[in-house]
Amino acid sequence: MKVAVMTGIGQIEYIEAAMPVPKDDEVLVKLEYVGICGSDLHYYENGRIGDYIVEPPFVLGHEPGGIVAEIGKNVTHLKVGDKVALEPGKTCGTCRFCREGKYNLCQDVIFFATPPVDGVFQEYVAHKAALCFKLPDNVSTLEGALIEPLAVGFHAAGQGDAHVGQSAIVFGAGCIGLVTMLALKARGVTNIVVVDIMQKRLEKALELGAEAVINSAEEDVSVRSRELTAGEGFDLAIETAGMEITASQCIQVVRKGSAIVLVGYGKSGMMNLPMSLALDKEVTFKTVFRYRHLYPTAIEAVASGKVNLTGIVTHQFDFEHVQEAMDHCVKDKSNIVKAVIKFS
């Protein structure tokens, strides 16, 4: 099979590799779509994210959807030809976090495209069958590839206990910000405001159902937020941009007794925040690391029509042009909301 390999910063080359052979509890999946995540772009541009350092050759990509091509002898819930979304993290199953059901916190997780584990910019992958979720007939493999970021959005909404009757503000209108908005809508929140500095992303947010948007490059977020909430502030704020300024704005624009969910990662990992204001408002902070037990929820939300996942995709690139895709995403961030790799 053909594999797109990162051979250096900003460099992709193709190699021929042996076809994976599924173990007894695995399935072989022919990939049809793989999303390009912000983490893929960070590794491609910088060669690292925090302590995770790329040592080429390395394969990017962790948002896969495809077709089952072969099954291991112990697999009973899937058959050849089934469409599947692949949850990319295999955990140990025995540590305290796994036993408590918080498997996303497992320290021994093996996660696609997280160094030193290769990702799935390749034609086939063998993966644990329990982590391959069958897609209903009306859900495409393109949508299957987007279940991974949508699960992050649902985890963020869940951490904020999002529910009917709330007002919410989402900082960042990239992929994670938009899927978080969609997850909020699926949980019954209708009054959602999205903040960003890129107008095309804000237009996409409106297209997907935001009640209002704020271009923070042109408007004062605090002033506009007071106008939109009749001076009271939002019930829930979710920060997906990973910026100190937007995290501070979360504290400024929520009402007393509200919740703030932090999703985005900043470059330095450090932030100075107006904690006196947070204390005065008795704000509850929650954070997000990936997701847990949410693939079925995300798939059902798409199948039932509660979430329009394909609406976030602005660009598709053929697998033969991964280098072009990555370069385009790096250079045109203001126009590309979500790009995917399509396999023939």
Q: Helix or strand or coil: residue 159?
A: helix
pLDDT confidence band for 50 (50 / 70 / 90): confident
**Which pLDDT does position 232 carry in this prediction?**
96
**Which pLDDT does position 12 carry in this prediction?**
98
* Each residue's pLDDT tens digit, 121-150: 999 999 999 999 999 999 999 999 999 999
**Which pLDDT does position 342 carry in this prediction?**
98
Q: How far apart are CA 143 and CA 150, in angstroms?
A: 10
At residue 267, does pLDDT exceed 80?
no
Examine residue 88 and say whether the peptide bond preceding it is cis (omega within 30 degrees of 0). no
Ordered DSSP codes for 120-154: --BSEEEEEGGGEEEPPTTS-HHHHHTHHHHHHHH
Which residue(s) pair with 11 in the sheet? 8
Q: How far apart are CA 267 and CA 272, in angstroms?
A: 14
Non-local (6+) Cβ contacts of 133 within 8 A are 84, 85, 86, 87, 147, 295, 296, 299
* Each residue's pLDDT tens digit, 155-200: 999 999 999 999 999 999 999 999 999 999 999 999 999 999 999 9
Asked if 175 and 149 touch (Cβ cutoff 8 Å), the reply is yes
Domains of the chain, start order: 2-146+313-342 (3.90.180.10), 152-287 (3.40.50.720)
Region 33-61 average pLDDT: 94
pLDDT confidence band for 49 (50 / 70 / 90): confident
**Which pLDDT does position 333 carry in this prediction?**
86
